[in-house]
């Protein structure tokens, strides 16, 4: 996997051989982004299956379930994580032999890799129809190739529009405290030759009020059955400000990000370490003893979302009805 904590200063890969290592990589955001951690968690379960010395299927499945439980504990908000774990576990349970289970686990995660890129390309194509030549798009965090197996969700829409010959510019907020916008989105876009302007998080309202944003396109970590969008902290304020300034607000997410079993009141918002807030790249910037709140995600209500862009088409209001009919 690409070590995303090292970017943009160093491009390097890390190799994981145990589910415990994968879990640590997810927790520390070596790998992050909802679709990416979904496939990574699935790989973690597959590692447990392949490494198991159990000869009986029941024992092997039990070990895989234990690995799944560990991986589930890493990050509670992104539903793709749980989807990826469950998909591998469900695939191996009917196995007749341990060897068959191992083959199935490996085949399943490879299939998930391929499906993710395909879904993102489909999503990008649907979303590009909403983008006009010359648009400036505001995004949040990193919802690009780094957040997926490849291509991206919100940035997949941008890429698809560019591939169609449209001139598109992107405004990327830095996305404190982990700086995914500054470190990852800006890195991806500049590497691909796509016009990118980096701003501080506090400049979002100003840019919208000055007419410097034509559309907002963000990703999602979970979309509940009642249409609430859980995404990186700062997304909700972008939605509110976009609504205030009559700028379309689009959410781009594959089918695996939709949670048909929960409404928004049942979702746990991850609280991360205070060190992410009081330190920048390891250097302390806040006084010792200050209390810190560090929610990693926020929730955007459906009435603030103009359209949802998915790999099976575009969703419009009322979202609960569309989610049930298209994703069920």
Residues annotated as catalytic are 221
Handedness of CA 232, 87, 66, 110 (dihedral sign): negative
Q: What's the CA gap between 2 and 150, in Å, rounded?
A: 12
Tell me if 16 sits within 8 A of 35, measured CB to CB. Answer: no
Positions of E strands within 12-66:
none
Query: Which structure tokens are listed for 238?
Result: 């972008």
Distances (CA, A) of 78 to 129, 163, 220, 273: 27, 29, 8, 17
Tally of CB atoms within 10 A around 287: 7
Query: Which structure tokens are listed for 61?
Result: 């499945």
Which 3-state string (H, E, C) describes 199-221?
ECHHHHHHHHHCCCCCEEEECCC
Q: What's the CA gap between 19 and 66, in Å, rounded?
A: 10
CA angle 21–23–25, rounded 5-degree value: 70
Residue among 100, 35, 42 at smallest CA distance from 68: 42
Tell me if 171 sits within 8 A of 138, measured CB to CB. Answer: yes
Give the burial string for 247-261 (b: 16+ CB within 10 Å, else e): bbbbbbbbbbbbbee
């Amino acid at each position: 996997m690409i070590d995303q904590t090292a970017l943009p200063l160093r491009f390097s890969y890390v190799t994981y051989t145990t589910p415990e290592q994968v879990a640590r990589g997810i927790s520390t955001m070596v790998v992050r982004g909802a679709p990416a951690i979904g496939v990574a968690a699935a790989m973690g379960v597959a590692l447990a299956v392949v490494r198991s010395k159990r000869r009986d299927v029941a024992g092997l499945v039990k070990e895989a379930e234990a690995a799944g439980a560990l991986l589930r504990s890493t990050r509670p908000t992104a539903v793709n994580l749980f989807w990826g774990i469950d998909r591998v576990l469900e695939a191996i349970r009917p196995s007749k032999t341990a060897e068959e289970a191992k083959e199935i686990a490996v085949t399943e995660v490879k299939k998930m890799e391929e499906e993710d890129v395909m879904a993102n390309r489909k999503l990008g194509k649907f979303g590009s129809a909403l983008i006009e030549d010359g648009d400036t798009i505001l995004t949040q965090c990193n919802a690009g190739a780094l957040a997926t197996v490849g291509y991206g969700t919100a940035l997949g829409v941008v890429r698809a529009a560019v591939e169609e010959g449209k001139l598109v510019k992107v405004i990327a907020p830095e996305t404190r405290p982990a700086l995914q916008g500054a470190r990852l989105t800006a890195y991806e876009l500049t590497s691909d030759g796509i016009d990118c302007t980096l701003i501080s998080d506090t400049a979002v309202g100003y840019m919208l009020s000055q007419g410097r944003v034509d559309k907002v396109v963000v990703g999602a970590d979970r979309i509940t059955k009642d249409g609430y969008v859980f995404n990186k902290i700062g997304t909700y304020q972008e939605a509110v400000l976009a609504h205030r300034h009559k700028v379309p607000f689009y959410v781009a997410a594959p089918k695996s990000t939709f949670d048909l079993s929960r409404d928004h009141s049942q979702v746990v918002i991850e609280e991360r370490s205070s060190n992410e807030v009081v330190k920048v790249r390891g250097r302390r910037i806040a006084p010792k003893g200050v209390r810190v709140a560090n929610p990693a995600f926020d929730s955007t209500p459906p009435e603030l979302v103009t359209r949802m862009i998915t790999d099976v088409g575009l969703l419009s209001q009322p979202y609960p009805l569309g989610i049930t009919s298209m994703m069920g």
